[in-house]
Chains A and B, each alone.
Chain A
Amino acid sequence: MWDFIVERREQIAYNTFQHFNLVVQAVVVATVIGVALAVLIVRAPALQGVANALSAIGLTIPSFALVGLLLPVFSIGAFTAFVAVAFYAVLPVLRNSVVGLQGVDATLIESARGMGMSGFAVLWRVRLPLAWPVILAGVRISMQMSMGVAAIAAYVLGPGLGGYIFKGLAQIGGANAVNYALVGTLGVVVVALLADALLLLLGRLTISKGTRVA
């Protein structure tokens, strides 16, 4: 196992980075989309149930099925993987953003308006910062989920560590099958833990001391 890794260390490092890269990019895009949608949705209470239902339906669709649906449109490759990962990543962010934005104390919003803040200032300086811890929790869920989706997307030649898993599958019975599958699987676990740690750090840096729990 060790020799296997050492022999391929450059290639493994590259694929690990690619996996991380794909997921982070997709999650960043998803966060922007999710938060933006949530900002629109909380304006209309009637939309909230619909949005939650849609996101529940979205999360029900198996990722392998989504990949199959996207393939005819975007063809084989990294972009399909990106779209699939980003699709799932939007949903938890959206859901948590709605909850977080809704949870902001109405008197604080009124207070902000009463002080003469414009609608945008209220959103940017009061509502989003106060909802941020909840939004970030959603981003963490998205990130964890996306790691697995990215692995499956490797079946359509998406970048990253998933390729090793499918290589292991293809070579079952062969000498390196276990090594490939293990490197792929554990690699994803490691990347997931790393990404989560980074998000926790981001939370430390961006969540105001005044609203941090404990």
Chain B
Amino acid sequence: MTDLATAPASTVEQVDAPPGRKRRRLDRETTLMLVVPPILVVLAFIGYVVWRQNATLTGAELEQLKWSQVWSLIGQHARLTFVSSVLVVLVAVPLGIALTRGPIRKFSPFVVAFANAGQGAPSVGLIVLLAIWLGYGFWTAVISLTVYGLLPVLRNTITGLDGIDPTLVEAGRGLGMSSTAVLLRVELPLAVPVIMAGVRTALVLVVGTATLATFINGGGLGAILQTGISLFLPKLMVAGAVLVALLALLIEWLGRVLELVARPKGL
């Protein structure tokens, strides 16, 4: 749900690992989070399938939990998450880079403070307001999810770039690299672990918030929950909640894998 709570563990990097060791030791939490969630997801999904095949479902329940319906909702949910996350990265990373360079630099505290305060706005309010303004639908949902996911990536990009040892940047310039070359070949690669931690946080925020997209006909697994709650059908509520939670865990896990893969070798 929140970036502040999940970021620290992944941003504490053991930088001074001996150079000969290719595989970095992962801390216990990271290891657990790489191994446990996929197993949990698979087991729970098997459990769901078994329950689904044996449960006696009626009208609306049957309608919502039809396999074709479920798969299509999962697809929508994933697409919402994926499209929004890509947009988040495309907006937040360049913005973060811009805010660490030249004269714009001095605005970065204000931008971060503003984004921080904005994070205090309830996601559901943002979605509803945007829907009133732009109308219902997939793209309105995508825009609100993007706005909501911006902060963690923006902040981590700024933190990551600011945290680089200035002597390395100087060394790059001293070798005759242009400032663009230093950015692309020295600064960004070194900041990747921190940026990726932000991306993972954003993924979790976005996949969770995408549950609310159903309120504005944006699709996604929230539909099952919404129907379940409006008609007070406990089976639907639980089934919807389980499916959403499993998808969120899976996406979080993918974020962790991505984070691990994207980490430059040697760091």
A residues in contact (CB < 8 Å) with B: 48-50, 52-53, 55-57, 59-69, 71-72, 76, 88, 91-92, 95, 99, 138, 141, 144-145, 147-149, 151-152, 155-156, 162, 165-166, 168-169, 172, 177-178, 181-182, 184-186, 188-189, 192-193, 196
Q: Is the pair B237, A64 in contact by a Cβ cutoff of 8 Å?
A: no
Question: Contact at B237–A141, with CB atoms within 8 Å?
Answer: no
Contacts of A141 in B (CB 8 A): 2, 4-5
Of all chain A residues, the one with the shortest Cβ separation from B36 is A53
Quick one: which of B128, B129, B131, B204 has the most chain A CB within 10 A? B128
Say if the beta carbon of B120 comes within 8 Å of chain A. yes
Tell me which residues from 198 to 243 in chain B have a Cβ below 8 Å from any Cβ of chain A: 204, 207-209, 211-212, 215-216, 222, 225, 228-229, 232, 234, 237-238, 240-242
Q: Which residues of A contact B222 (CB under 8 A)?
A: 64
B241, A91: Cβ atoms under 8 Å?
no
- B174 adjacent to chain A (CB < 8 Å): no
Other contacts beyond A62-B244, A63-B208, A178-B132: 14, CB < 8 A = A49-B27, A53-B32, A60-B204, A65-B240, A72-B234, A72-B237, A138-B5, A144-B119, A147-B122, A169-B215, A172-B132, A185-B121, A188-B125, A196-B120
B98 at the interface (CB under 8 A from A): no
Contacts of B125 in A (CB 8 A): 151, 165, 181, 184-185, 188
Closest Cβ–Cβ distance, residue B233 to chain A (whole Å): 9
- Contact status A156-B120, CB under 8 Å: no
| Secondary structure dominating the interface of B | helix
B residues in contact with A189, CB < 8 Å: 117, 120-121
From B117, B124, B228, A193 is in contact (CB under 8 Å) with B117
Q: Are A65 and B126 touching (Cβ within 8 A)?
A: no
Answer whether residue B182 sits at the interface, using C-beta atoms and an 8 A cutoff: no
Known A53-B32, A60-B248; contact A68-B120, beta-carbon cutoff 8 A: no
The answer to whether A63 touches B225 (Cβ under 8 A) is: no
A37 to chain B, nearest CB (A): 15
| Chain A residues, Cβ within 8 Å of B184 | none
Interface centre among B5, B121, B204, B252 (most CB of A within 10 A): B5
User: Which residues of the other chain, B, contact A181 by a CB distance below 8 angstroms?
Assistant: 125, 128-129, 132
Q: Can you identify 16 A-B contacts, CB atoms within 8 angstroms?
A: A50-B28, A55-B5, A56-B6, A57-B33, A60-B245, A65-B248, A68-B241, A72-B238, A91-B5, A141-B5, A144-B119, A169-B131, A169-B215, A172-B132, A181-B125, A184-B122
Are A50 and B122 within 8 A (Cβ)?
Answer: no
For B57, what are the chain A residues with a Cβ–Cβ distance below 8 Å? none
Chain A residues with Cβ below 8 Å from B229 are 67-68, 71, 155-156
Docked Cα-Cα span, A196 to B204, in Å, equals: 24
The reply to whether the CB of B9 lies closer than 8 angstroms to some CB of chain A is: yes
Which residues of chain A are near B122, meaning CB under 8 Å? Answer: 147-148, 151-152, 162, 165, 184-185, 188
